[in-house]
A and B are shown apart, each in its own frame.
Chain A
Amino acid sequence: MALKALWVRTTRTDRYLILLLVLVAFTSLFLSFGRTAGKQLVIYADEKIVFTGPLTRDRLLELQGPLGETQVEISAGQVRVVSSPCPRKICIGMGSVWRSGDLLACVPNRVVVRIEGEGKKGYDLLSR
């Protein structure tokens, strides 16, 4: 009732101001949602960014390094190295990554894959 009484007493300017406040609140809410957009993949070859893209689009990436071509596959939201010219194939053995902050690297061929964006994995850094 008190609210209704207050509303009756408002002028047109008041109502414009209320509308403006509501718009500002919704805009900031929308922008904050935009900041927590999905995870993305960043690939470095020889310490330079050569690819960035979402994890949601399946594709096969062919990356050139000093030893030859490393193939990185994005499939079902996960990333893995499927082929590499390095001798020990440790990068292939590392399997798939998908959590924010995860890293995948082929050190001999100087290719690094990093997952960026929001996501919880229960720790900041992994000691191994």
Chain B
Amino acid sequence: MLNRPLLLIAALLLILLLVWFQRPAPVTEVARTALIMGTLVEIKGVGQDQKHINRAISNAFTAMRKEEERFSPQIESSRLSLLNRTTAAVMVDPQMLELLQLGQEISRQSQGAFNLGLGRLKALWNFEAEDPRVPTTAAIKAILPDPDHELVHIAGNRVTRSSGVQLDLGGIAKGYAVDQALKVLRTAGITSASVNAGGDIGLLGGHGERPWKIGIQHPRRPGEVLATLELRNQTIVTSGDYERFFIQKGVRYHHLFDPQTGLPARGCQSVSVIAPNAAEADALATAAFVLGPQKGLELLEQRPQVEGLILAADGTASVTSGLKGRIQWR
């Protein structure tokens, strides 16, 4: 005869087994890094199929390397180098066209605060040098692009560069590469991922079920965050005076130049922009930084689906209307 407690235990065991087999496959996060466009790129994918995520991440890195080959001024064979070598009309690919058009649009809207023609100025300041120095005022003035003159003329898929101007897409191309990586991940069916190219961040979905929690670097306290906020399916880019800089006679000289003066812009410590795509966020962050807190905020408010946080030179923080109440200050 069967014992009742034995039946009870057997039933419990059966339930345990059923629960075990009914469990969904564990959700894992795959994180990989690569060095692309002179910066550290980290892509994270969250999901159940590790192999599939790994393959998608490899393809996303490949897409970013293609953008590096297209837009890098250091690569002789890049489309950008080709454009910078000739003043004749050059046939460009759709990607270059898209990026130049977006750059021109943001340049117009920011009254030239965002400028694609600062290649010579950046070379003059040479922040990559072992011992960077402040150039003379005369040297700066000699190479500043004329604000009333068109930098590039676009006619169909043909682009003509103005003589005396060297194009530099440093303020927009990294964001564009992040967008291309996100596109590859989305096409592969990944629904939860992040692409972080040296702080230019693109997000697919949330981090699993919850939103991604983004920290914004404190510009004056290394290792500390200024604020955090939660985002899904958006991009965020921060431009700050603390990433590339040197100090000469007690003055901080950074790499975000005001195209009108050729000197580092002085209105802000950092600007973070949230936008539907990273190329736009990248260019707007630079533009708002150059414009300063008040005009910068006005620019961000004008753009649809764009939000931002500006930390002024005196440490005062301001945010766009849509971001109020969404930020946790640290």
Contacts and interface: CB of A to CB of B under 8 A. Distances in A.
A94 B196 contact: no
Contacts of A123: 213-215, 225, 228
Interface in B1-53: 3-6, 9-10, 12-13, 16, 31, 33-35, 38-40, 42, 44
A23 interface: no
Interface string B50-74: 0000000000000000000000000
A57 interface: no
B238 A107 contact: no
A125 B196 contact: yes
A127 B128 contact: no
A101 B207 CA distance: 14
Contacts of A95: 222-223
A21 interface: yes
Contacts of B33: 44, 47, 103, 105, 112, 114
Contacts of B243: 128
A128 B217 contact: yes
A4 interface: no
Chain B contact surface mostly:
strand
B3 A125 contact: no
Interface string A100-128: 01010101001010100000011111111
A87 B128 contact: yes
Q: How large is the interface on A (under 10, 10 to 19, 20 to 34, 35 or more residues)?
A: 20 to 34
A14 B6 contact: yes
A94 B223 CA distance: 8
A117 to B, nearest CB: 12
B129 interface: yes
Contacts of B35: 47, 105, 107, 110, 112
B5 A14 contact: yes
A13 interface: yes
A11 interface: yes
Contacts of B199: 126-128
Contact of B225 (A10, A44, A103, A122): A122
B148 interface: no
A68 to B, nearest CB: 14
B272 interface: yes
A29 interface: no
Interface string B198-237: 1111000001000011111100001101001000000011
Given A112-B40, A125-B44, 9 more contacts: A10-B3, A21-B12, A103-B40, A105-B33, A107-B38, A107-B39, A126-B216, A127-B238, A128-B238
Interface of A: 6, 9-11, 13-14, 17-18, 21, 44, 47, 87-88, 94-96, 101, 103, 105, 107, 110, 112, 114, 121-128
14 contacts: A11-B3, A14-B3, A17-B6, A21-B12, A21-B16, A95-B223, A105-B40, A107-B40, A123-B215, A124-B207, A125-B194, A125-B214, A125-B215, A127-B214
